[in-house]
Amino acid sequence: MQRRKFIKFLLGAASLALLPVRAFAAIWNTPAFQATQVDVALAGLGVGSLKPSSLITVVAPDKAENGAVVQIEVTSNIPNTESIAILVDKNPTSLIAHFKFSHGADSFVITRIKMAETSDVQAIVTADNQYFVAKKRVEVLENGCG
Binders in 37-66 for other proteins, by CB under 8 A: none
Range 5-24, binding other proteins (CB under 8 A): 20-21, 23-24
Backbone φ/ψ region at 120: left (φ over 0), alpha (ψ -120 to 50), beta = beta
The site that binds other proteins (CB under 8 A) totals a number of residues, namely 41
Contact 64, 91 (CB under 8 A): no
Nearest-approach distance from CB 132 to other proteins, in angstroms: 19
How buried is 110 (Cβ within 10 angstroms: 0-12 exposed, 13-18 middle, 19+ buried)? exposed
Q: Shortest distance, CB of residue 39 to other proteins, whole angstroms?
A: 16
> By rule CB under 8 A, what string of x and - marks binding of each residue 76-115 to other proteins?
------------x--xxx-xxxxxxxxxxxx-xxxxxxxx
Q: How many CB atoms lie within 10 A of CB 87?
A: 27
- Give 143's contacts (C-beta < 8 A, 6+ positions apart): 67, 115, 116, 117
Beta strands 63-64 and 130-140 are parallel
Applying CB under 8 A, the span of 1-9, 69-77, 124-132, 135-143 interacting with other proteins comes to 69-77
Q: Is the Cβ of residue 6 or residue 46 nearer to other proteins in the bound state?
A: 46
Contact with other proteins (CB under 8 A) among 29, 77, 118, 143: 29
DSSP, res 8: H
Q: Site residues (CB under 8 A) for other proteins? A: 20-21, 23-26, 28-29, 33, 68-71, 73, 88, 91-93, 95-106, 108-115, 144-146
